[in-house]
Amino acid sequence: MIITFPKGLVGFPSAQRFGLVEWGGDDSPFRLLQSVDDPGLAFVVVPPDVFFTDYEPHLVIGEQDVVLVIVTVPDRVQDATANLLGPLVVNMATLVGEQAVLAPEDWPSRRRLVA
């Protein structure tokens, strides 16, 4: 499945086409968002409700939309963080997505997955 981000992603405006593939095994909630145009560019993503039941950003989403957050996985996996400030909203019917930029006073750009 190829998802198009017409506006690109924050910091990567020219990266507009990404494959979304499983990552981490059959039972893993994580996915890899792999750039089609730049093989060296990939992001680990996850639905935020898997780790953050309190995550309720003010986003206008349709019933075909899914929200994903980008995860940073450092050397120590237990220190992994999610970017709650810039969620990705993907319409699964059209396979078109956009990165939202929320208010920094409401949501952090780095929140640990595990307390």
CA angle 1, 114, 83 (to 5 degrees): 50
Is the per-residue pLDDT at 25 higher than 90? Answer: no
Residue range 98-112, pLDDT digits in tens = 999 999 999 999 999
Residue range 84-94, pLDDT digits in tens = 999 999 999 99
Q: Which two tokens stand for residue 27?
A: 């039972």
Closest residue by Cα to residue 34 from 23, 18, 49: 18
Is the per-residue pLDDT at 61 higher than 90? Answer: no
Amino acid 84: pLDDT = 97
Amino acid 107: pLDDT = 94
Q: Which two tokens stand for residue 77?
A: 């996996």
Q: How many domains does the chain have?
A: 1
Q: Could you list the residue range(s) of the whole structural domain that residue 102 is in?
A: 2-112
Amino acid 69: pLDDT = 98
Q: Where are the beta strands (DSSP E) in 26-75?
A: 31-35, 42-46, 65-72
Stretch 35-56: mean pLDDT: 94
Q: What is the CATH number of the domain that holds 101?
A: 2.30.290.10
